[in-house]
Amino acid sequence: MDHLAPGTTIHRRIEVSNTTGSDAHVVLYAAAATIARGTFLGDAGHYQDDLSTWTSVRPGASNIPSGGHLTATVTIGIPPDAAPGEQYAVVWAEVRAAPVAGDGVTEVSRVGIRLYLSVGSGAAPASNFVIESLTAERAPNGRPTVVAAVHNTGGRALDLSGTLQLSNGPGRLSAGPFSATLGVTLAIGDTEPVTIALDRRLPAGPWNAQITLHSGLIERTARATITFPATGASSPVNATSPGHTWAPLAIGALAVLLALIAASIVMFVPRRRRPWGPSHA
């Protein structure tokens, strides 16, 4: 993940480890990637996009013994005329198994490293997101789930993780924290669901639900009161941010305080006395 100006070249090192029981011939290369429906998708073949064509890996191939590792250098060179915006690609480490005699099928295994590159001059675009709503659902197997609608309001793609905490339930029960399903990548401007699967033994509610999500160093928390339906999904409940609920009250209190201070200053300014001397008709 980086923000680079056009004309910049960077070098990064990666390590590939062979955890199998035999030697492996590993091929390293860059390929295109996209973000669709909350998922980062690296192209399975050698399809290219702008960022992958700017990226090279050295060495491009190597024999790695069982239990051994290889350090490779990834070089990304941004053309001087590159358009501003965020680009995605993936660096693949690929191993091919020899086809079994007679079937002609080649087994290919890949593991990759994601590339998120923002191109442009000046500071990197700010990252930000909001949690818009929480929806209580009941899966076909009876397991309760909570789905958070998250909107990317910033200028970078986000990889989300986090937890959900339930409190003040029936009999003042509390439960959690429950981990969010990993693997949600939120493209710029998109709104995607983040799902949290809960314990089947939880009563329906109502519950005070608090969800905290992270992307890098950014953290957002939201709350809502939810009740799990017997089947299907309930209506989405607008989420409120604990950090914003006090803001209007604080601003109002500050305005009142400033008004009182101004009134006090006016009240205690001494009146000017008229100078002594004969009065004139």
Which pTM value belongs to this model? 0.75
Which of 119, 137, 160 is where one domain is finished?
119
> Are 73 and 157 within one domain?
no
Residue 185, domain member (yes or no): yes
Domain that holds residue 195: 129-244
> Are 90 and 152 within one domain?
no
In the prediction, which pLDDT does 265 show? 36
In the prediction, which pLDDT does 245 show? 37
CATH code: domain of residue 62: 2.60.40.2310
Residue 68, domain member (yes or no): yes
> Are 79 and 151 within one domain?
no
Residue 86, domain member (yes or no): yes
In the prediction, which pLDDT does 63 show? 95
Radius of gyration of the chain (CA): 29
In the prediction, which pLDDT does 14 show? 95
> Per the structure, how many domains does the chain have?
2
> Are 106 and 33 within one domain?
yes
In the prediction, which pLDDT does 181 show? 87
CATH code: domain of residue 237: 2.60.40.10
In the prediction, which pLDDT does 254 show? 42
> Are 111 and 194 within one domain?
no
> Are 114 and 22 within one domain?
yes
> Are 91 and 36 within one domain?
yes
> Are 81 and 24 within one domain?
yes
Residue 250, domain member (yes or no): no
Query: Under a CB-based contact definition with an 8 Å cutoff, are residues 145 and 131 in contact?
Result: no
What is the full per-residue pLDDT of the chain (281 aa) written as tens digits? 899 999 999 999 999 999 988 899 999 999 999 999 899 999 888 899 999 999 999 999 999 999 999 999 999 999 999 999 999 999 999 998 877 766 677 788 899 999 999 999 988 899 999 999 999 999 888 899 999 999 999 999 999 999 999 999 999 999 999 999 888 899 999 999 999 999 998 999 899 999 999 998 999 999 999 999 999 999 999 999 876 433 333 334 444 344 444 434 333 344 433 333 343 33
Residue 195, domain member (yes or no): yes
Residue 255, domain member (yes or no): no
> Are 46 and 144 within one domain?
no
> Are 49 and 11 within one domain?
yes
Which of 119, 152, 180 is where one domain is finished?
119
> Are 63 and 157 within one domain?
no
> Are 215 and 141 within one domain?
yes
Residue 221, domain member (yes or no): yes
Which of 76, 94, 119 is where one domain is finished?
119
SS (H, E, C) 19-68: CCCCCEEEEEEEEEEEEECCEEEECCCCCCCHHHHCEEEECCEEEECCCC
In the prediction, which pLDDT does 195 show? 94
Residue 257, domain member (yes or no): no
Q: What pLDDT digit, counting tens, does each position of 12-21 carry?
A: 999 999 998 8
